[in-house]
């Protein structure tokens, strides 16, 4: 179990108990971290508040990552909660319209293309920028985001989300370069298919699971808890010299040619 005693963490992306962000939050809480959470929309507010309460979360606030003003408010609230400092940022936020996760990528309309990239990729840039002064004051920090192999290879039905993940992957590297001189690390985790709320909207998701189980070297699925454990490593001091890196938690599937 990683030691997060005294660390202050802001977690974006918890929707329910199956969320990868929640699995990460549980690892942080078990290690002694102080936690703050955001939620998107009234529909999930009660669920997020209940989960946050179970780990003594100190702040639960709404955040629309498409709004720079909203992001500024959230990080100001986190700074006020944590004495002007922040050690950890978990970014587990992505969205694409359901109709764009089926059919042809070619048919993605312009406005929904930019919507997917705004929420799924640019939000990391905006949040990292807002976290920077809080982490600098803390003497450094660690940021982890969630990506997927569909940003590197064409995965049928992943479509515009794959393009968004490719943008996210590149953003991780450039953010790591910019923020490294302030001892702020930026990494990504590329997980195999995990049954989350977001995964349900991907056409053929169960087929993706079957293929991974058949062809991955370990021939088994991964769980949100597996991803949470990997994130705990990247967010901990044990990974103090790990940045600009993508850690694959997919039973080795990413290494296979076919």
Q: Do the Cβ atoms of 11 and 24 come closer than 8 Å? A: yes
User: Which of the residues 148, 174, 233, 248 is marked catalytic?
Assistant: 148
Contacts of residue 116, defined as CB under 8 A and 6 or more positions apart, other chains included, come to 95, 96, 97, 100, 160, 161, 163, 164
- Catalytic-residue membership of 158: yes
Residue 14, Ramachandran bin (φ over 0: left; ψ between -120 and 50: alpha; else beta): beta
Q: What are phi and psi of 125, to 5 degrees?
A: -60, -45
Contacts of residue 89, defined as CB under 8 A and 6 or more positions apart, other chains included, come to 9, 10, 12, 127, 128, 131, 135, 141, 142, 143, 144
Parallel, antiparallel or unpaired: strands 8-12 and 184-191: unpaired
User: Which of the residues 39, 122, 158, 233 is marked catalytic?
Assistant: 158
Q: Which residues are catalytic?
A: 148, 158
């Amino acid at each position: 179990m990683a030691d997060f005693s005294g660390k202050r963490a802001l977690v974006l992306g918890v929707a329910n108990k199956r969320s990868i962000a929640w699995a990460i939050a549980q690892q942080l809480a078990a290690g002694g971290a102080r936690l703050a959470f955001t939620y998107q929309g009234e529909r999930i507010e009660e669920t997020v508040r209940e989960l946050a309460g179970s780990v003594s979360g100190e702040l639960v606030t709404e955040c629309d990552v498409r709004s720079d003003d909203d992001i500024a408010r959230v990080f100001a609230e986190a700074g006020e909660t944590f004495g002007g400092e922040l050690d950890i940022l978990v970014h587990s936020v992505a969205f694409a319209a359901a109709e764009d996760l089926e059919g042809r990528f070619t048919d993605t309309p312009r406005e929904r293309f930019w919507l997917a990239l705004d929420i799924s990729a640019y939000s990391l840039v905006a949040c990292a920028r807002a976290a920077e002064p809080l982490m600098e004051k803390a003497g450094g920090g660690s940021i982890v985001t969630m990506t997927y192999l569909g940003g590197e290879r064409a995965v049928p039905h992943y479509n515009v989300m794959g393009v968004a993940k490719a943008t996210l992957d590149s953003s991780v590297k450039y953010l790591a370069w910019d923020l490294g001189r302030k001892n702020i690390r930026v990494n990504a985790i590329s997980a195999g298919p995990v049954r989350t709320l977001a995964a349900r909207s991907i056409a053929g998701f169960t087929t993706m699971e079957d293929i991974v189980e058949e062809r991955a070297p370990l021939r088994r699925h991964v769980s949100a808890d597996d991803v949470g454990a990997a994130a705990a490593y990247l967010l901990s001091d044990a990974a103090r010299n790990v940045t600009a890196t993508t850690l694959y938690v997919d039973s080795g599937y990413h290494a296979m040619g076919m």
